[in-house]
Amino acid sequence: MMTSSRQPVLYLSHGAPPLADDQLWTRQLAEWSSTIDKPTAILIVSAHWEEAPLTLGATETVPLVYDFGGFPERYYQVKYPAPGAPELAAKVRGLLRGPSTPTADDPHRGLDHGAYVPLVEMYPDADVPVLQISMPTLEPAALVDIGRRLAPLRDEGVLIIGSGFFTHNLHAMTPHLGPDHAPPSWSSEFDDWGDRVIESGDFDSLIDFERKAPAARLAHPRTEHFAPLFVALGATMDTLRTQRSVIEGYWFGLAKRSWQFD
């Protein structure tokens, strides 16, 4: 593994439970994690937990949240008994302390599929403590500010992950065409724009993506799957050295582009 005094920050497209059956994607996630120093803990923000005030999930191992329906039974049998992270939770509360970002605790809420589906592939031994926090808003600038305040955790070996999907319009999907069909224009245009904007470091345009990006309303009818990217950006943009697109391509027409920020 690479050695580094500071953990990178990731934004990944997490996939639905059938991601586990996609040999290419699972291999990409596993290879990605192998290039990163093993973290002391993982702090993850998922598209599937919106709650205000910002809420910290369970700090001990509790059952997963199977927040999906209509899938074969085997997807509801997946386990990921990662250790809880009470010390990390205390640090998060300290960093976010203040009237602008009140926090709450939900000790019974386990990891949802936006968190555990990619982590099963990246850290299959489930031996890294994991803490999930909610998104108290979808407003990009506010999420950037939260990320900025969490940034010091990187120097303590904490891997911060925003888990969403680079384009996400389930109503416009065409599942009968299979996972590898050519993407619709709204997905490819938004993906190309996002790639260019992030690569160039034009984060002002990115924050204003709903007005600046092509096909933004089609790519994200709701913005919860793009929103975790802004927490990731906030945690790295003040010290950013490099950004690279690690995973590219499409899954059922949705862009699965995923980023590492160093």
State pLDDT tens for residues 9-65.
Answer: 999 999 888 888 999 999 999 999 999 999 999 999 999 999 999 999 999 999 999
Per-residue pLDDT at 256 exceeds 90: yes
For the chain, list the domains and their CATH numbers: 9-261 (3.40.830.10)
Its pTM stands at 0.96
CA atoms within 13 A on the CB side of 102: 5
Cα separation, 132 vs 34, whole angstroms:
22
What sign for the dihedral angle of Cα 17, 18, 24, 27? positive
Mean of the per-residue pLDDT values of the chain: 95
pLDDT (tens digit per residue) in 137-189: 999 999 999 999 999 999 999 999 999 999 999 888 877 888 889 999 999 99
2 confidence band (pLDDT: 50, 70, 90): very low
Burial 52-80 (b: 16+ CB within 10 A, else e): eebbbbbbebbebbbeeeeeeeebeeeeb
